[in-house]
Each structure stands twice: as structure tokens, then as C-alpha cells.
Amino acid sequence: MSVIYVLVPVASVLAIAAVWAFIRAVRSGQFDDLDTPPVRMLHDDEEEPRAEKKAGPE
Amino acid sequence: MAAEPAATTTAGKAARVACAHCGLDVPPGLVVEGAGNQFCCAGCRTVWDVIYGHGLERFYRIQESSGAAAMPALTTGRRYAEFDDATFRDVWTREVEPGVRTAELYLEGVHCAACVWLIERLPRVARGVIESRLDLRRSLVRIVWDERGTTLSAVARALDSLGYPPHPARDSKSREARLREDRKFLVRIGVAAAAAGNVMLLAIALYGGAYSGVEAERGAFFRWVSLAFGMVSLAWPGSLFFRGAWAAIRTRTAHLDLPIALGLGAGAAAGAVNTVLGRGEIYFDSLTILIFLLLVGRWIQHRQQRWAADSLELLFSLTPRFARRTGGEEVPVEALRVGDVVEVRAGESFPADGTVTEGESAVDQSLLTGESRPVPVAAEARVCAGAVNVSRPVKVRVEAAGDDTRAGRLMRLVEEYSRRRAPIVQTADRIAGWFVAAVVALAGATFIVWLRVDAAQAIDNATSLLIVTCPCALGLATPLAVAVAIGRAARAGVLVKGGDALEKLARPSRILLDKTGTLTEGGCAAIEWEGDAEVRALAAALEASSSHAVALAFQHDAPARGVHRIEHVLQTASGIEGTVDGRAVAVGSAAFASRRVAAAPAWAHAVHERFASRGLTPVWVTVNGNVAAVAGVGNPIRPDAAAAVAELRHRHWSTAILSGDDPEVVAAVARRVGVPPEDCRGSVTAEEKVAIVEEEARRGPVVMVGDGVNDAAALSAATVGIAVHGGAEASLAAADVYLSRPGLAPIVGLVAAARRTLRTIHVCLAVSLAYNGVAAALAVTGVIGPLIAAILMPLSSLTVVLLAFWSPTFGEPPCR
């Protein structure tokens, strides 16, 4: 059962990694607007018309 | 406006015709025979053309599938030239890289998923736009564009042509600051949750071990890890409470953070000591969960208040911020200088103080002075920023702009008073003071009593008392109850900026009502009509060709253009005459009318006197040389005003009227709505209003309700300021509560809801104190085990949360 002395630190490191990822997500603004993205993702999958691809060297 | 039902009328077209853009019915007069697509208005046609012209017709499919209600397009066709002005560029836009700038704009008319899609396809409509991102909830779009490819005015015109008129978003700096604050708060919650979750896992092992036995060495390891997580939670997210408590101590005010910090501190100290010594309870499971729950409660309240603030900001941005220099050049208001000559069209508000140089019109100053009747202006007349030009375009030479205007000076008063106002002490904080004293006293007593038995036991029992009584439920109850009430209020059309205002409205006190725009509606109308009812349409038809201030009072009655044949119209300052369907009609003052009749009948004079004594302007109507009717023109009282005042008085509020209008008019309105005459003050200037409110505030809480710039300072000086629907920008800034629907009924609803909210808070507090009382009794006697404490604490929080959500704080409005 002394494996616990390894598992607990490993679990703690994982927890710290998760918190770090969360903080990064918050700071990059992913939680600023929670209403638009669920709507936006419904539109994104459809292909843009060909005219757009020609005109879009920007 | 497109909602006119198209069916059942004219020329054999029985079927309804749907607008190709918005899908609403096309009015029969606008149906074009033989055309494939029909439009209900020019706006919809413009938007439809733009959408199809750029291959964006998918918009309609998305709109259909999203199931959102259709809205007619809002295009204004403005040129937005002021968006290119140098001042505007400095104030509202920001450079991201050389030649590329970004700006945030509020859009009108954003309402559904399809709007998001269409607005984010802006780069395809307007060349040079690199990116366009919409925030649906805030109606805020961020545009990134290439200055070499386009101008911001072109982008604005493109948005307008899609049916989303843009407005510059103010205060992008403070919005950014708030965003950073929001993110910091979220990070705190995340850290608190992670710490609480991990400590909880270890706690389960420890509690399990307490029953089934655990190796001492392993138990100690778990306790040390718990200590580490607990300390992280206390030092990072938990620091919020310690800082709040320290601020409370320094300012010598009671704050809920104080007992929370006390409990947290005692628990952490005891837990750390016990971990090091390897004995007793460590408490970190309770502490970390406590921090997490309290933060979540505060976050919910914070979000609701932020939402109300955002809605207000949107309203702010919709007020026009541009002026038109002569020649049609549109410039931002900030760029106006003394000596500029600006053109102000009918329906627009004056951008600055100045003198009329050209043109004649009527000016509605009700927002500035409370005066209900539009004032005629001609060359050399002074006009003030914020007043509305009612009838015809005029040119004005600017004499004071920005902060130097009368409205600007009033705004400074507003700022001054909002700084001076004492903050409202909330119930929870008031209780917190007593709570701390009681808990500390009890802990001290426990310690002394147990000291005779055993020193170690004394310390243990005293600390467990401090922890168990830590007001978790107390700290959750208030923010949750307030958040629920604010959220429900917003849905009922009442935007509440802060929970403290809600608490002050719960108990009846004095309520001061403004008259013009608050008790009465903004514009003039012919309220009374004595005489031949059929003549009313004739008079209205004749007045439709005039833009005199009084003529506008008849516009509600005016029949459609072309129904009556109107000829030989002659207009003077005191009246208008002409032939309507062959009959000679004259509408005007008594003197104007009596010149057109042989002898004015006695009844007309009697009615004239009656109207005048009620504060109405008598207007005589003659037909073919006979007095046919006398109309009484004035501000119509809001239909729900009398009922609202009666309901407020029934709820033991003492009502009073404070108006800048003529005392006689005020007295007349007071009689109609049922406010006792001794509580009415007329001809009160903005400064006097403040003085009166301050005077009243010394005697007790005062609620001020108003709409105008002249009310703004009084609103901020009052305990709670309520701005009504359609009020001036300054009144929005000054008020704590804003009614987003017309009428006074929302105030009654708000007062009732505030009362119920306070009751909910009290119930929650009572329940949580009862829990704490029981727990404290058990802790004092040393009966309480760690497991019971661990069960009791979340249970009390849960009860309180459920109570806060279930209580009907903002149910059915009681007034109707």
C-alpha cells in the first residue's frame, strides 16, 4: 500500500495541471462570452461559397 | 413599422402577403402587383438586397431553423460621417498594428442566432474588414479593419444596411477592467473548487480511517497533503475574505466577511497546529468547501448585477452622440467647439447649448426643466443641450459644449452627490456585527469553562465552536436571494444596479415623484374635448399640416392623409385656419377664435375657465363662424399613475410630487393621481430638488422617481433613485433602478418584490442561525463529533440555497 505515497503526489500534479489549464482558458477569454459561441458553432461547419475563396487573399 | 395586418382590405387581395425579409405582413398599400418579392418597408428591402447581393441568403435558413421571432429591419440610411472624425478615432478606436484598427460598436436589432452569422460575415459585405466578432448577450461587435482598404464610416454604413445601426460603445476601458476582474474571480473559483475537491477525497479516506482504522503514518501523510491544499485555498481564493475583514476593521464597519474570516482563521490555525502535532481535527475539508460555496454565491450575485449594468450601458450608447455641422457634415459631439453652427432636425436633441440663428421651431425642454409644454423658439432664442427640437429644423450657434453645457454642469452635480452619499448597510452586514460579538463571547466562555476540566480540551472546543458557527449559510443567503430577485426583476422590466437598493425599498418610506415624464407622458395631447365630437377629426386634419407645439397635441387624432380635402391654410402664432372639406375651420387661442365668430357662447367661456383651472391649455375650434368645440391640451397622465400611487399609499408609502412645472399644473395632476396637495411642489429647479431630497433624507430614507436631467442630481442624492422609461441619459447614470417599461406599475411591483426579498433573506438568516445555534450548543458541550459537523454544515447551506431559489420574490405584479 505504500504505492499511495506515489499516487497522491501524482494526483496532486494532475490537479495542478488541470487548474493551470483552467486559468489559461480563463485568461485567454474563453469564459468572457458564454452565449455567442454555442450559436456560432452551429454555422461554422457549412462550406463557404466559392466566391469567398477567390476573394480572400487577405 | 410593419405589423399592420394586411388581410381583409382593398382590391381583391384577400390573401396576406409576407415580407420577403422579415416575414411579417406587407401593408396592402405597399404590395407591388406582379413583383416576386414583396417588402413591408424600405428597410427590409435594403437589407434583402444587401444579403442577396453578397450571397448571404443562408441567413434566412438559419433564422428559420433558430425559430427566432422575425423583426423588421432597422436601417436608418445615415452616413455615419462622424465615425471618420479625428476626435472619434482617438476616443473610440484603437490601433492593433500599423494600418489596422479595431473598434467596439453596439448594434441595435441584434436578437438571434442568424444575426450572429450575418454580422460575422461582415468582411464579405464591406471590403477591408478583417474580422467581425459579435457578443450576442451584450449586442457588442468588435470590428478589425484595414485603414487602407476602408473607413469606419463605410463599415458602419454596411452594418446599417444589414439592419443593425451601430453606435460607439462607451467606456471600453472600464469594460476591460471589469472583464479582468471577472476573470480573476473565475480563477479564484476554479482554484477553490480544485482544492476543495482534493481535500474532500483525502477527508473521505480519513473519515473512513477513523472508523476502520488507519496506519498512523499514512494518516499523518493525508493530513499533511490536506494542509497543503487547504493553505493554497486559504491564501489564494480565501484571501478575498481576509481582505474584506481587514477593510471592515479599518473602517470600523460591520461586514459579513468579518465572521467568515474569523471562522476561517480559527479553523486554519487549529488545523495546522493539529497537523503538526498529529492529533485532533484538521478541518480543512470544511474550510475549503466553505470558501468555494461562498465564492459561488458571490459570483452569482455579481453576474446578475453585471447583467443589469450591461443593459444600462447599451441604453446609454443608443443616445445620439453626433452633431450635424451646417453643410451636412456629421461630427462627434466631442468635436464641437464654441462658434460652430450646427443644424438640428425635427425630433433630434440639441447637442450643445447655443443660440438659434436660423429657423423657427418648438423645443421640448421637459427633460431639462420639467416644463411640460414645448416652448416656441425663433432666431436669437437660447436653447440647451438635451432639449428636443420638436417641429422644424433650426440652425444653432454653439455657445457651450460638453461639460460646460447646463446638462454637463448638472452631470457634475450628479457625480458629486453620488460620492457624498453614505453607503447602505445591508441586513447581513448589520447582523454580522452582532454575530461576531456573540460568537467571540461564546468561544471565550467555552474556553474558560472547559479550562477547569482540561486545557487541551478547552482549546479544541473553543475552536470547533468558531468553525461550526462560521456563517456559511449566512454568507450564501443574502447574495443568492438578491441575485434571484434582481434576475426576476430584469425579466419584469426593472433593472436594478445593486442589491442594497432592493433592501432599502423593502420598507415603506417617503417617495418623491417627478411630474413631467414620470406621472405624465412625455408629449402633449388633447386630453379633454368639449363640444362636437365629429369636429375633432377636422381640427386634427387641419393641424396635421402645422408643426406648432400645440398642433402636435392633435397628431394622435389625425386621420390618414388624403381623407380630408384641406385648402387655404393660413397659420399665425396663435392659431391656424383653412377649409376642410369645404368648411371653414379655425383652431387656436380664445382670442384667435373669437375673431371668427359673431359671439362666443357662454358654455365655451365656462369650459375655457374649467380647463385653464386644471392646468390645461384651452384651444378653441370654430367651424363656419360658430364655436364647435373647446379642447384642453396638456400632458396626459399615465394610465396607471393613479392606481400605482393608490397602491403605494395603501402600502404605507408617503407620496409627494416634486416638479419643475407650473405649480397650478402640478396641483391639477396631483388631484388626478391622488397625492395630497400639501405634498406637492411646483416650479422647483434642479438645484432645489436636490436640496429638498437632502433635507428629507436627513429625516429618513427617500426614494426619488424621475426621468429628466433636472432630476438626475436628486436621484443620486436620494437613498434610492428610480429612473423611469424614456428618461434622459443623465437620469440613467444617476439612478439605482431603471424601469425599462413605460408606466409606474413596475415601481409597485418592485416595492412588493423588495419586501418579499427581504423576507426571504430574513427566513434564510433565521434558518442558518438556528443551524448555527444548534451546532454551537453541541460544540460548547463537546458533544459534537467531526462527522456530525461535516454533515451539518453543507446541510444548512443547502437549505438556505433552496429557500432563496424557491421563494416567490418577483412573481405576479400585484398592481393589476
pLDDT at position B511: 92
Phi, psi of B382 (to 5 degrees): -85, 135
Closest CA–CA distance from residue B136 to any residue of chain A (Å):
5
Q: What is the mean pLDDT of residues B552-568?
A: 70
Q: Do B136 and A49 touch (CB under 8 A)?
A: no
From chain B, pick out residues whose CB is under 8 angstroms from the CB of A12.
Answer: 198, 225, 228-229
From chain A, pick out residues whose CB is under 8 angstroms from the CB of B136.
Answer: 33, 35-36, 39
Give, as one character, the DSSP assignment of residue B518: I
Candidates B758, B757, B703; CA nearest to B735 is: B703
More confident: B659 or B801: B659
CA distance B107 to B155: 12
CA distance B442 to B777: 10
More confident: B484 or B191: B191
From chain A, pick out residues whose CB is under 8 angstroms from the CB of B131.
Answer: none
pLDDT at position B815: 36
Listed by number, the residues of chain B in 113-142 with a beta carbon closer than 8 Å to a beta carbon of chain A are 113, 116-117, 120, 123-124, 130, 134-138
Q: What is the mean pLDDT of residues B183-204?
A: 93
Q: How many CB atoms lie within 10 A of CB B589?
A: 17
Burial of B380 (0-12, 13-18, 19+ CB in 10 A): exposed
Phi, psi of B124 (to 5 degrees): -85, -20
CA distance B373 to B495: 30
Give, as one character, the DSSP assignment of residue B84: G
Q: Which residues pair with B644 in a beta bridge?
A: none
Nearest by CB to residue B135, choosing from A15, A36, A51, is A36
User: How confident is the model over B132-142, as pLDDT tens digits?
Assistant: 988 888 888 99
More confident: B4 or B738: B738
* DSSP per position, B310-337: HHHHHHHHHS--EEEETTS-EEEGGG--
pLDDT at position B246: 92
Residue-wise burial string across B598-626, b where 16 or more C-beta atoms lie within 10 A, e elsewhere: eebeeebeebbeebeebbbbbbbbbbeee
Q: Is the dihedral of CA A26, A29, A30, A36 positive or negative?
A: positive
CA distance B105 to B111: 15
- Per-residue pLDDT at B7 exceeds 60: no
pLDDT at position B547: 62
Nearest by CB to residue A26, choosing from B134, B183, B197, is B183
On whether the CB atoms of residues B537 and B559 are closer than 8 A, the answer is: yes
Domain boundaries, chain B: 177-309+424-481+761-806, 322-411, 494-521+638-740, 525-611+618-634
CA angle B49, B54, B56 (to 5 degrees): 90
Give the mean pLDDT of chain B: 81
- Per-residue pLDDT at A54 exceeds 60: no
Closest CA–CA distance from residue B152 to any residue of chain A (Å):
18
- Per-residue pLDDT at B611 exceeds 50: yes
Q: Is the dihedral of CA B483, B488, B489, B495 positive or negative?
A: positive
CA distance B160 to B144: 17
DSSP strands (E only) in B616-692: 617-623, 626-634, 654-658, 680-681
pLDDT at position B14: 47
From chain B, pick out residues whose CB is under 8 angstroms from the CB of A1.
Answer: 218
Closest CA–CA distance from residue A22 to any residue of chain B (Å):
7
pLDDT at position B814: 38
Helices (H) and strands (E) in chain B, counts: 27, 27
Res. B789 pLDDT band, cuts 50 70 90: low
More confident: B91 or B468: B91
pLDDT at position B155: 92
Among all residues of chain B, which has the CA nearest to that of A20? B191
Among all residues of chain B, which has the CA nearest to that of A4? B218
Q: Do A39 and B179 touch (CB under 8 A)?
A: no
User: How confident is the model over B143-174, as pLDDT tens digits?
Assistant: 999 988 889 999 999 999 888 888 887 666 77
CA distance B104 to B89: 12
The size of chain A, in residues, is 58
Please name the residues in contact with B217: beta carbons below 8 A apart, sequence gap of 6 or more: none
Q: Which residues pair with B580 in a beta bridge?
A: B566, B583
CA distance B377 to B342: 16
- Per-residue pLDDT at B243 exceeds 90: yes
Asked if A45 reaches chain B (Cβ–Cβ under 8 Å), the answer is no
On whether the CB atoms of residues B101 and B145 are closer than 8 A, the answer is: yes
Q: Do A40 and B186 touch (CB under 8 A)?
A: no
User: How confident is the model over B283-308, as pLDDT tens digits?
Assistant: 888 889 889 988 988 888 888 777 77
Closest CA–CA distance from residue B194 to any residue of chain A (Å):
7
Among all residues of chain B, which has the CA nearest to that of A30? B183
Q: Do A15 and B136 touch (CB under 8 A)?
A: no
Candidates B796, B772, B220; CA nearest to B464 is: B772
Asked if A28 reaches chain B (Cβ–Cβ under 8 Å), the answer is no
- Per-residue pLDDT at B561 exceeds 80: no
From chain A, pick out residues whose CB is under 8 angstroms from the CB of B187.
Answer: 22-23, 26-27
Q: Do B137 and A36 touch (CB under 8 A)?
A: yes
Please name the residues in contact with B645: beta carbons below 8 A apart, sequence gap of 6 or more: B513, B655, B673, B674, B675, B744
Beta strand B617-623 pairing with B626-634: antiparallel
First to last CA, chain B: 29
pLDDT at position B554: 76
Asked if B64 reaches chain A (Cβ–Cβ under 8 Å), the answer is no
Q: Do A15 and B62 touch (CB under 8 A)?
A: no
Candidates B707, B688, B691, B693; CA nearest to B747 is: B707
CA distance B157 to B161: 6
From chain B, pick out residues whose CB is under 8 angstroms from the CB of A47.
Answer: none
pLDDT at position B559: 62
Q: How is residue B140 written as a grid cell?
A: 457588442
Q: Which of A30, A42, A44, A53 to mutate to test the interface with B (most CBs of B within 10 A)?
A: A42
Candidates B61, B105, B53, B52; CA nearest to B82 is: B105
Asked if B58 reaches chain A (Cβ–Cβ under 8 Å), the answer is yes
From chain A, pick out residues whose CB is under 8 angstroms from the CB of B117.
Answer: 40, 43
First to last CA, chain A: 61
User: How confident is the model over B361-372, as pLDDT tens digits?
Assistant: 888 877 777 776
User: How confident is the model over B413-454, as pLDDT tens digits?
Assistant: 777 776 666 555 677 777 777 877 888 888 888 888 888 888
Asked if B60 reaches chain A (Cβ–Cβ under 8 Å), the answer is no
From chain B, pick out residues whose CB is under 8 angstroms from the CB of A18.
Answer: 194
Q: Do A22 and B58 touch (CB under 8 A)?
A: no
CA angle B595, B597, B599 (to 5 degrees): 105
Q: Do B187 and A46 touch (CB under 8 A)?
A: no
Q: Which residues pair with B95 in a beta bridge?
A: B101
Q: How is residue B814 written as a grid cell?
A: 400585484
On whether the CB atoms of residues B30 and B12 are closer than 8 A, the answer is: no
From chain B, pick out residues whose CB is under 8 angstroms from the CB of A39.
Answer: 66, 113, 116, 136
Closest CA–CA distance from residue A4 to any residue of chain B (Å):
9
Q: How is residue B155 written as a grid cell?
A: 463599415
Asked if A50 reaches chain B (Cβ–Cβ under 8 Å), the answer is no
pLDDT at position B455: 79
DSSP strands (E only) in B359-509: 361-364, 375-377, 382-383, 388-389, 394-400, 494-496
Predicted ipTM of the assembly: 0.80
Q: Do A43 and B116 touch (CB under 8 A)?
A: yes
Q: Do B186 and A51 touch (CB under 8 A)?
A: no
CATH superfamily of B494-521+638-740: HAD superfamily/HAD-like (3.40.50.1000)
Beta strand B737-739 pairing with B617-623: unpaired
Q: Which residues pair with B627 in a beta bridge?
A: B622
pLDDT at position B12: 41
Q: What is the mean pLDDT of residues A20-30?
A: 93
Asked if A7 reaches chain B (Cβ–Cβ under 8 Å), the answer is no
Phi, psi of B448 (to 5 degrees): -65, -45
Q: How is residue B434 written as a grid cell?
A: 452582532
More confident: B496 or A16: A16
* CATH class, range B525-611+618-634: alpha beta
C-alpha B720: how far from its chain's center?
14
C-alpha B251: how far from its chain's center?
31
How far from B384 is each of B365, B564, B577, B731, CA to CA, in Å? Answer: 8, 38, 32, 17
Q: What is the mean pLDDT of residues B7-17?
A: 50
Phi, psi of B397 (to 5 degrees): -90, 125
- Per-residue pLDDT at B809 exceeds 80: no
Least confident stretch, B41-50, B89-98, B412-421, B572-581: B412-421
More confident: B476 or B645: B645
Asked if B177 reaches chain A (Cβ–Cβ under 8 Å), the answer is no
Give, as one character, the DSSP assignment of residue B401: -
User: How confident is the model over B757-769, as pLDDT tens digits?
Assistant: 888 888 887 887 7
Q: Do A4 and B221 touch (CB under 8 A)?
A: yes
From chain B, pick out residues whose CB is under 8 angstroms from the CB of A52.
Answer: 124
Nearest by CB to residue B198, choosing from A1, A15, A52, is A15
Side-chain-facing half-sphere of B371: CA atoms under 13 Å: 13
On whether the CB atoms of residues B671 and B641 are closer than 8 A, the answer is: no
* CATH class, range B322-411: mainly beta
Between the CA atoms of B789, B795, B801 and B806, what dihedral angle is there, to the nearest 10 degrees?
Answer: -150
Give, as one character, the DSSP assignment of residue B350: P
Q: What percent of chain B has pLDDT over 70?
A: 90
Candidates B108, B109, B125, B104; CA nearest to B57 is: B125
Res. B517 pLDDT band, cuts 50 70 90: confident
Nearest by CB to residue B194, choosing from A15, A26, A36, is A15
pLDDT at position B595: 82
SS3 B472: helix
How many contacts does A have with B, using Cβ atoms within 8 A? Answer: 77
CA distance B586 to B596: 8
Give, as one character, the DSSP assignment of residue B349: B
* DSSP per position, B559-617: PPTTSS-EEEEEEETTEEEEEETTEEEEEE-HHHHHTTSSS--HHHHHHHHHHHHTTPE
Least confident stretch, B226-230, B610-614, B721-725: B610-614
- Per-residue pLDDT at B4 exceeds 50: no
Candidates B321, B361, B324; CA nearest to B342 is: B324
Phi, psi of B129 (to 5 degrees): -80, 125
Asked if B434 reaches chain A (Cβ–Cβ under 8 Å), the answer is no
From chain B, pick out residues whose CB is under 8 angstroms from the CB of A11.
Answer: 198, 201
Res. B560 pLDDT band, cuts 50 70 90: low
Beta strand B382-383 pairing with B720-723: unpaired
